[in-house]
Amino acid sequence: MKKKKKEDIKVLFIFQEISPFVKETDRALLGHMLPRKIQEKGGEIRTFMPSYGIINERKNQLHEVIRLSGTNIVINDNDNPLIIKVSSIPLARMQIYFIDNEDYFVNRSILRDDAGNFYEDNDERAIFFTKGVLETVKKLRWIPDIIHISGWIGHLFPLYIKQVYKDEPYFQNAKIVYSLYNDKFDGELNKRYKDKLKFDNIPASTLKILSPPNYVNTIKLALNFSDGVSFMDDNVDDEIVKYIEKLKIPSLGKADINTEDYAEKYLEFYKKLLSTEYIQA
């Protein structure tokens, strides 16, 4: 049997934004550069993001993957067709999978409309994106070592992987890393958010933290099921930082993507989480 090199790590990247498909931000740059660097260092990657309506599909050559599409994602007893599209970043030799749905992403921006208003159904968009990615990874028959999530829309992944999909062999042994930003929004999600999550047999006790379902509490929910966190901003909400300290979650300080060694820092962090010698406090 071929001996596995240390760099032969399998990473599932799930990002809210990836450049050049959307406006260049720190989140979008991380979504582009980190998977690219990990792949260049010998890692095996799969990368996902939502198929927002603001993406120029013709320019970016998105096309539907028929063999992966066709699944219905059930949210609160309603069927929602899942469409999987794919594109690539030629210079990076990197393929990107896009999660699409006519109601949740077509003609939509990222989290806010043109007037700057937070979409009223962002709760369901997050559920759809989460279940859509995980169902697609199952179809790909690919088992990641690390699942790296970036952006608020991915806050449900740690919960669903550890509870709803806990018996799936594709995710059982994966370590989850959640990247944090200063992306706080005002107000609360739909008042029936917890009921929609309970439909997937998530215990009420798990969802108590969503009282109320605001930004800070949704991030706390993600942290409750994350194995590690990374900071991409110097101004992450103080309450969230204190919560990380309380949970004693291993964290990677801000790794500036403009530096030469940021990818090495992430790779070492991944290896630490996967180490058999590593035991979380």
**Would 26 be classed as within a structural domain?**
yes
Q: How confident is the model at residue 88 (pLDDT cuts 50, 70, 90)?
A: very high
Q: How confident is the model at residue 164 (pLDDT cuts 50, 70, 90)?
A: very high
- Domain tally, the chain: 1
pTM of the model: 0.94
What does the pLDDT read at residue 160? 98
pLDDT tens digits, 186-202: 999 999 999 999 999 99
Residue carrying structure tokens 């709760």:
123
The neighbouring-strand residues paired with 94 are: 89
pLDDT tens digits, 101-133: 999 999 999 999 999 999 999 999 999 999 999
**Would 2 be classed as within a structural domain?**
no
CB atoms within 10 A of CB 147: 26
pLDDT tens digits, 130-152: 999 999 999 999 999 999 999 99
Is residue 144 a contact partner of residue 46, using CB atoms and an 8 Å limit? yes
**Would 14 be classed as within a structural domain?**
yes
Average pLDDT, the chain: 92
**Would 281 be classed as within a structural domain?**
no
> What CATH code is carried by the domain that includes residue 47?
3.40.50.2000
**Would 221 be classed as within a structural domain?**
yes
